[in-house]
Structure 1
Amino acid sequence: MSHLVRRFVSVLGTCCLATGLALCVAQAPARAETSGGFELVALGVRGGLDDSNLSSYLIRAQGDAHYLALDAGTLLPGIDRALARGAFADAGPAGGDTAQGHVFHDLIAGYFISHAHLDHVAGLLIAATDDTGHKPVYGLPSTLQVLSDDYFNWQAWPNFGDRGAKPALGRYRLTETAPGQWFDIPDTTLSAQVYPLWHDRITSSMILLRHGDAYFAYFGDTGPDALSGGGHHLADIWQALAPLVRRHALKGLLIEASYPNEVTDAQLFGHLTPAWLERELGALAEASSDPEALKGLKVLVGHTKPSLKAGRDPRSQIAAQLQAGNRLGVHFILPTQGQQVEMP
């Protein structure tokens, strides 16, 4: 039994076991009777170069007023772009703030940081110079340790966290999440569970969100199990998601495809190509015991890395390669900055 499974069993107690893996997601605490879905707003979708458009998304349960941020590579420029495209139309009055300030101050309940690479935290750091409202930042202990030691240390940046180098200003509450343990997101109807991911030399993470009997999975940067030196983080996750897929409770997932297929495995550094992504989605279909199980599932694809070479458009290449290899019938979506995606 894997370390992840032992932790699931010890934390959650009774679980149903399948093929030696703990499938405990169905035992999440009930916070809402509804089985509604989710609304996602893309604040940043790229994996580098353009610092105004780096990985960051806001998600909320349908009917909620507040969002959870999924990574924070770009915050305020992404909010501005989303407002220009008609997002947050039901947000209510802004009080004394600009519309951008209203979203930042009042509508974000907290942040999930999948890992501490700069393209996933730059917006979080920069925006801390304004009063954030002492909001929680959720992440694995290893991720939060990097935030505290390497960024919030009064050398790289003032300590806007609530621990570490003194004085700790406390604008963010660094909130550790144990793998496999459900927790609630205050001021929302969301519950969440975090899973570790392999990302070359560091541990990244995925967060599984629950609203009633509806689920959404957000993956930080990750490479395929086959290149991880014997790891099985994605295999564990596919086993955990399989029962949700079978009963159509998984409303969507967001995962990366950083490079086109032409990039060699040796140059991926813990990322996915369209071919590797589709191979991993095939493993999810296999875990679900139904080759048709993923048909129509919304698979949002982000973290595409742009190029400064004339005539090259990696995003278009990735989109074309995903469609060409789409034998599972999933609904691939490559969001653009500011776009809203509904997952009812």
Structure 2
Amino acid sequence: MEPLGSGGGPKEDNTTALLVRSTAQEWTKGSILAVDAGVQLGKITRILDDHLPDVKVRPAIVTSGPFKGLALPHASSAANAVHVTGTLVDTYLITHPHLDHISGFVVNTASLTRAKRLAGLPKTIKAFKEHIFNNIIWPNLSDENDGAGLVTYMRLVEGGSPALGNGDDKGYMEICDGLTVKAWSVSHGHCIEKHTHRGSSASLHPVVDAAGVPLIDASPLGRSISSGARSPKHPRNSRMSPHPASNYAAAYSQPTETREETCVYDSSAYFIRDIATGREILVFGDVEPDSISLHPRNQRVWIDAAPKVASGKLGGVFIECSYDDSQEDSMLFGHMAPRHLIMELRILATEVEASKQEQQETKKRKRQSNGDSLDHPNRRHSPRGAARQGSPLPNMQASPVSPLTQCRLPDILPPDNDSIPEKFSTAPLNGVKVVLIHIKEKLNDGPDEGDIILGQLKEYEEEIGLGCEFVISREGQAVFL
């Protein structure tokens, strides 16, 4: 994995863009997958400037840096960058169509000499069709609606295609040479205005009490919000700020046909698997914490990830942490701060412990019953199975019947805080690198924002004992997993 852009703005030359390649593959046509493309050709040129071999014979082999081992056919970095994007990258996997995730790809289409695939969930593709390649914002370079045919849309299936793969490979789609992918949708905040819904499948107001105080705990240590308990290390941030929409009961007492609704914006999370080794990484687009989301969906991603962590197959989670803990909840705009990321990882860790226990029980049952363990009464349901049955998974508590549950039943119900340990003795995320992306630079004379965020996460980790390693994503610095 190579981050081309690791920031979340405001600098336009460091927005989100990642290059992914299976190290079991050679540097060949179609061997690189681009995940988001806020920057692209210009940043690759800059990286090659730092590592271009000083030899006259071509092709020249790069001996250092993220493109180590790549044969460069040209003398200039710019020409070689065009070779990388034009030949080695076949597919652009987009998490969501915000400009800081797509602008490099869109502008670079002017240099395309052969068709590329643009992959994403259907709503992402729809946004490109209607708002980007529409002959207004940009020429229609796609192969739909009488376009130029330089971009082919590849629509992914939420949760994986049921027609692809068997067993552990079920649902994964081959996305480029050596890599397969499975997609989940996640929430990236909500629109400020109220209008006819155009985002995800949920239009919700938050769960709050009569005074307008949210009832879902955003504290990284899981302390009850109603008690007013505060974290000793980050006292300003344990308690959530009141959400702009004040009272869900009042909101849902309005007739359906007159009630204003809030639009939730969709982003994506991708499991990317190396076909040769079975190893995986999990890459999130911009995402907000379930604890303050109007449509919480991270939980099903963590449930899918847990057995992969438990078996040692998931080596890295690339996830945003845009702000430090001084940012109030009301000013997150669909992003996360360390207190939220730690809570999300605590949920993952809880699922990993449950998955390890299940794996041990399954092995024991197989030894006792010659492998027939599918109908054991303690077997946990898959996330998709739980959604079909309409029942919560173990370690989760259904909310009482209310106007909220009448309007929306989520795929996965949020966990009860009492079921999430405040401290882990087993380091359940040991061996997992949590790579922080989309950090928003403050551009002042103060300390580096990434260093502040990293320090706060390490404080939480020391207290909670997750066992994971936090890494700040730096542009042009390869991450091997």
Q: 1:77 to 1:119 in 2, by over 3 A?
A: same
Question: What percentage of residue pairs aligned between the two structures are identical?
Answer: 31
Name the structure 1 match of 2:45.
Answer: 80
Which AA in structure 2 matches 1:145?
K
Which AA in structure 1 matches 2:71?
G
Conservation of the 8 A alpha-carbon contact between 1:45 and 1:56? yes
Name the structure 2 match of 1:3.
Answer: none
Which AA in structure 2 matches 1:266?
S
Q: Give the CA deviation at 1:213.
A: 2.1
Name the structure 2 match of 1:334.
Answer: 472
Which of residues 29, 32, 37 is equivalent to 1:67? 32
Q: Give the CA deviation at 1:87.
A: 2.4
**Which whole-Å CA distance do the structure 2 matches of 1:199 and 1:132 have between them?**
34
2:128 aligned with 1:144, yes or no?
no
SS in 2 for 1:284: helix
> Residues 1-344 of structure 1 correspond to what in structure 2 (within 5 A)?
40-64=1-25, 65=27, 66-83=31-48, 84=50, 86-94=65-73, 98-131=79-112, 133-164=114-145, 166=146, 168-181=147-160, 182-185=171-174, 187-201=176-190, 202-211=265-274, 212-229=277-294, 231-289=295-353, 291=424, 292-311=427-446, 313-326=448-461, 327-343=465-481
SS in 2 for 1:43: strand
Q: Give the CA deviation at 1:270.
A: 1.0
Conservation of the 8 A alpha-carbon contact between 1:70 and 1:111? yes
**Which whole-Å CA distance do the structure 1 matches of 2:328 and 2:129 have between them?**
34
Whose relative contact order is higher, 1 or 2, with alpha carbons under 8 Å and at least 6 apart?
1
SS in 2 for 1:100: helix
Q: 1:187 to 1:241 in 2, by over 3 A?
A: closer
How far does the alpha carbon of each residue in 1:282-324 deviate from its partner, in whole angstroms, 9 at most, with x for none? Answer: 1000011264220231111010001133425322211211222
Q: Give the CA deviation at 1:112.
A: 0.5
**Which whole-Å CA distance do the structure 2 matches of 1:308 and 1:340 have between them?**
24
How far does the alpha carbon of each residue in 1:25-65 deviate from its partner, in whole angstroms, 9 at most, with x for none? Answer: xxxxxxxxxxxxxxx11100010111111100001111223
Which AA in structure 1 matches 2:444?
K
Q: Which runs of 5+ in 1 are unaligned?
A: 1-39
Name the structure 1 match of 2:239.
Answer: none
Q: Which runs of 5+ in 2 are unaligned?
A: 52-64, 161-170, 191-264, 355-423
Q: 1:267 to 1:203 in 2, by over 3 A?
A: same
**Which whole-Å CA distance do the structure 1 matches of 2:319 and 2:446 have between them?**
26
**Which whole-Å CA distance do the structure 2 matches of 1:196 and 1:122 have between them?**
21
How far does the alpha carbon of each residue in 1:90-142 deviate from its partner, in whole angstroms, 9 at most, with x for none? Answer: 22242698221111111112110000000000001110011152111110111
Aligned residue pairs total 301
Q: 1:157 to 1:251 in 2, by over 3 A?
A: same
Conservation of the 8 A alpha-carbon contact between 1:137 and 1:175? yes
**Which whole-Å CA distance do the structure 2 matches of 1:130 and 1:152 have between them?**
16
State the TM-score, normalizing by the size of structure 1: 0.83
How far does the alpha carbon of each residue in 1:215-245 deviate from its partner, in whole angstroms, 9 at most, with x for none? Answer: 111000000011112x331110111111111
State the TM-score, normalizing by the size of structure 2: 0.60
RMSD of aligned residue pairs (Cα, Å): 1.7
Conservation of the 8 A alpha-carbon contact between 2:180 and 2:273? yes
**Which whole-Å CA distance do the structure 2 matches of 1:268 and 1:187 have between them?**
34
Q: Which runs of 4+ in 1 moved over 6 A?
A: none
Which AA in structure 2 matches 1:206?
A
SS in 1 for 2:18: strand
Larger radius of gyration: 2
More strand by share: 1
**Which whole-Å CA distance do the structure 2 matches of 1:235 and 1:183 have between them?**
20
